[in-house]
């Protein structure tokens, strides 16, 4: 195996030795820090008080083999571990070789880490030495045999080697190698092949056992009565298993299957197997980011961008706040209100919003601290407040005495449903308006006409307040004049007078006595010509 892989495993071993193991009242060989019982005399029942675990009562993933006999399938035609697509044949497994029954997996997670637990059962103890191998594959695409998955670089092979008459299995790890020299291979001279195996047992990264006494049906978790040496279990530190010291820090396995070999030689022919079991095992996690606005109910938003920042204490301490020592490791942009950071190594991170969607302010705070755990998704929600704007009205009126157009105070406007009055400067404003189109309507004061529409539409599309950045709209009022023409005939009925003013104004004809008053109101400034025709 590559030097880097061995160094990584030894470093992990050193960290594991610092973990205080759980105390057990009966013999166990579990890894330090695990609550799962790998019993010296392997069994499936819980022997110690909580938080101890065993196969009975947990949500394990398991798969049964086809029934023994002519309908049972197996590998044939000389298929070996390095055979990329082993040949599947139908027929009984010889009694002197391992006829498999069931296998199962369970991923334990606690404060000390993750531990992959596996077990196998077989019909009877075979004569001679046989070995069980658990193959874990990333791909879910079936190979040409229609049963086993296509192998890809980094697939893992856990070898459960148990010498004849032995009770302490040795656990080995090999990774599938697709390129490079054959010197990487455990047995082949060329790639692809299973790489040089690492003894996980001697490295302190795995442990296992086999039942030396029969297991009654009532204690077999539904597997039925098991005679001695037909049940084996193992436990592997999941980080060591999933990465194997390889270059890819994140590995996900979608399936696993169990197979037996005819001897403890790695190049021995494969025999029985149990078809792949669908799994979801990963040594990395993911972060699901949800982006909404502040509406009730909230709306999902597109277009926000985020950085994933690795939290590097102790400068700021875990969960303190993002600092200069933290490192950006990924970024994403929200689509349909979400974005995901996948294949994230376990650890402490910051999700930092770097840009908000148009029309929205950035979240406050713009960062959230998350702890990523392998094979789990952590979800965070960022709320972008919708940006608000303002509408400011400027109100003026013509005033001859004041020298022209001047501010007009005390005029009432309805802005987006709110009534306000202009101040001494002729200004009125309404703020905290969401982006959109609004009507601004003036209540024209007495003595004036509006110079234009009394209702105007204003679009708010930029952030602002009444103090700064408001959208603006102007209204001008025109002062009005009342005109009255009075006719007084000095001799009653002596004259008849007709009054006519253009383009507007008072007009009419006097009464029989020759007298009359002609009025017109609300005349806007302008030139009016009046003709008075006194007819004797």
Specify the length of the chain in residues: 536
User: Once rounded to an integer, what is the mean pLDDT over residues 287-294?
Assistant: 96
Q: Is residue 109 located within the same domain as residue 176?
A: yes
| Nearest residue to 426 via CA among 407, 411, 412 | 407
User: Once rounded to an integer, what is the mean pLDDT over residues 71-76?
Assistant: 90
| Final residue before a domain boundary, out of 331, 363, 384 | 384
CATH code for the domain in which residue 300 is found: 2.60.40.10
What pLDDT was estimated at residue 97? 62
User: Once rounded to an integer, what is the mean pLDDT over residues 313-340?
Assistant: 82
Model confidence over 20-36: pLDDT tens digits?
344 456 799 999 999 99
| Final residue before a domain boundary, out of 456, 479, 502 | 479
Model confidence over 375-388: pLDDT tens digits?
789 999 999 999 99
User: Once rounded to an integer, what is the mean pLDDT over residues 346-352?
Assistant: 91
User: Once rounded to an integer, what is the mean pLDDT over residues 313-321?
Assistant: 64
User: Once rounded to an integer, what is the mean pLDDT over residues 442-447?
Assistant: 96
User: Once rounded to an integer, what is the mean pLDDT over residues 457-481?
Assistant: 96
What pLDDT was estimated at residue 58? 94
Residue 130 vs residue 511, higher pLDDT: 511
DSSP helix, strand, coil percent of the chain (3-state; round to 5): 5, 45, 50
Model confidence over 255-276: pLDDT tens digits?
999 999 877 788 988 889 999 9
What pLDDT was estimated at residue 232? 95
Q: Is residue 155 located within the same domain as residue 270?
A: yes
Confidence tier at 137 by pLDDT (50, 70, 90): very high
- Token look-up 């105390």 returns 23
Model confidence over 214-253: pLDDT tens digits?
999 999 999 999 999 999 999 999 876 665 545 567 778 8
Q: Is residue 88 located within the same domain as residue 162?
A: yes
Can you give the residue range of the structural domain that contains 442? Answer: 388-479
- Token look-up 């193959």 returns 135
User: Once rounded to an integer, what is the mean pLDDT over residues 492-500?
Assistant: 94
Q: Is residue 76 located within the same domain as residue 28?
A: yes
Q: Give 41's contacts (C-beta < 8 A, 6+ positions apart).
A: 27, 209, 211, 212, 213
- The answer, yes or no, to whether residue 322 has pLDDT greater than 90, is no
| Nearest residue to 381 via CA among 278, 250, 260, 293 | 293
Q: Is residue 19 located within the same domain as residue 139?
A: yes
What pLDDT was estimated at residue 5? 40
Q: Is residue 52 located within the same domain as residue 148?
A: yes
Confidence tier at 8 by pLDDT (50, 70, 90): very low
Q: Is residue 224 located within the same domain as residue 105?
A: yes
User: Once rounded to an integer, what is the mean pLDDT over residues 489-502?
Assistant: 94
User: Once rounded to an integer, what is the mean pLDDT over residues 201-222?
Assistant: 95
User: Once rounded to an integer, what is the mean pLDDT over residues 176-204?
Assistant: 94
Least confident span in 88-102, 167-181, 472-486, 493-507: 88-102
Residue 424 burial by CB count (10 A; 0-12/13-18/19+): exposed, middle or buried? Answer: exposed
Q: Is residue 220 located within the same domain as residue 308?
A: no
Confidence tier at 318 by pLDDT (50, 70, 90): low
What pLDDT was estimated at residue 468? 96
What pLDDT was estimated at residue 130? 67
What pLDDT was estimated at residue 24? 54
Q: Is residue 133 located within the same domain as residue 232?
A: yes
The pLDDT > 90 percentage for the chain reads 72
- The answer, yes or no, to whether residue 326 has pLDDT greater than 90, is no
Q: Is residue 98 located within the same domain as residue 63?
A: yes
- The answer, yes or no, to whether residue 141 has pLDDT greater than 60, is yes
Q: How many CB atoms lie within 10 A of CB 19?
A: 14
Model confidence over 521-534: pLDDT tens digits?
999 999 999 999 99
Q: Is residue 164 located within the same domain as residue 306?
A: no
What pLDDT was estimated at residue 283? 80
Q: Is residue 256 located within the same domain as residue 341?
A: no
What pLDDT was estimated at residue 140? 87
The domain tally of the chain equals 4
What pLDDT was estimated at residue 11? 42
| Nearest residue to 428 via CA among 446, 441, 447 | 441
- Token look-up 């404003």 returns 429
Model confidence over 485-494: pLDDT tens digits?
999 999 999 9
Q: Are strands 61-64 and 436-443 parallel, antiparallel or unpaired?
A: unpaired
| Final residue before a domain boundary, out of 234, 257, 282 | 282
Model confidence over 74-129: pLDDT tens digits?
999 989 999 999 999 987 666 556 789 999 999 998 888 889 999 999 988 876 66
Distance, in Å, from the CA atom of 92 to the CA atom of 74, rounded to the nearest integer, reads 8
């Amino acid at each position: 195996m590559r030097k880097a892989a061995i160094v990584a495993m030894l470093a992990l071993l050193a960290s594991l030795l610092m973990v205080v193991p759980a105390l057990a009242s009966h013999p166990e060989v579990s890894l330090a820090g695990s609550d799962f019982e790998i019993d010296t005399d392997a069994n499936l029942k819980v022997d110690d008080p909580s938080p101890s675990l065993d196969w009975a009562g947990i949500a394990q993933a398991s798969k049964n083999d086809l029934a023994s006999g002519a309908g049972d399938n197996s590998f044939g035609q000389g298929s070996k571990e390095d055979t990329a697509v082993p040949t599947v044949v139908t027929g009984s497994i010889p009694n002197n070789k391992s006829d498999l029954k069931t296998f199962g997996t369970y991923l334990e997670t606690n404060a000390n880490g993750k531990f992959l637990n596996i077990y196998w059962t077989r019909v009877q103890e075979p004569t001679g030495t046989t070995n069980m191998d658990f193959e874990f594959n990333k791909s879910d695409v079936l190979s040409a045999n229609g049963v086993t998955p296509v192998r890809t670089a980094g697939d893992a092979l856990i070898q459960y080697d148990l010498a004849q008459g032995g009770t302490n299995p040795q656990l080995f790890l090999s990774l599938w190698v697709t390129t490079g020299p054959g010197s990487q291979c455990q047995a082949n001279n060329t790639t692809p092949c299973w790489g040089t195996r690492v003894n996980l047992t001697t490295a302190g990264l795995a442990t296992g056992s086999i039942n030396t006494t029969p297991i009654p049906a009532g204690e077999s978790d539904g597997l039925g009565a098991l005679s001695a040496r037909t049940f084996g279990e193992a436990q592997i530190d999941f980080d060591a298993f999933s990465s194997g010291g390889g270059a890819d820090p994140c590995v996900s396995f979608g399936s696993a299957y169990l197979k037996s070999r005819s001897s403890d030689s790695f190049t021995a022919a494969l025999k029985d197997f149990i078809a792949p079991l669908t799994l979801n095992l990963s040594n990395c996690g993911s972060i699901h980011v949800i982006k909404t606005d502040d509406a009730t109910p909230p709306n999902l938003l597109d277009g926000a961008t985020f950085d994933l920042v690795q939290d590097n204490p102790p400068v700021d301490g875990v969960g303190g706040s993002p600092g200069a020592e933290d490192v950006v490791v990924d970024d994403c942009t929200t689509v349909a209100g979400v974005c995901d950071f996948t294949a994230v190594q376990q650890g402490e991170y910051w999700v930092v919003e770097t840009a908000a969607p148009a029309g929205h302010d950035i979240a406050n705070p713009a960062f959230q601290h998350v702890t990523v755990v392998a094979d789990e998704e952590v979800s965070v929600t960022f709320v972008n407040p919708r940006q608000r704007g303002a509408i400011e009205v400027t109100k003026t009126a013509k005033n001859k005495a004041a020298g022209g157009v001047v501010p007009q105070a005390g005029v009432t406007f309805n802005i987006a449903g709110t009534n306000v009055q202009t101040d001494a400067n002729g200004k009125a404003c309404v703020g905290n308006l969401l982006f959109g189109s609004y009507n601004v309507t003036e209540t024209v004061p007495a003595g004036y006409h509006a110079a234009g529409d009394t209702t105007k539409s204003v679009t708010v599309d930029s952030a602002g307040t009444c103090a700064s950045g408001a959208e603006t709209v102007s209204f001008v009022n025109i002062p009005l004049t009342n005109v009255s023409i009075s006719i007084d005939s000095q001799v009653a009925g002596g004259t008849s007078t007709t009054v006519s003013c253009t383009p507007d104004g008072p007009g009419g004809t006097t009464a029989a006595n020759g007298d009359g008053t002609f009025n017109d109101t609300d005349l806007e400034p302008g030139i009016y010509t009046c003709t008075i025709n006194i007819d004797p």
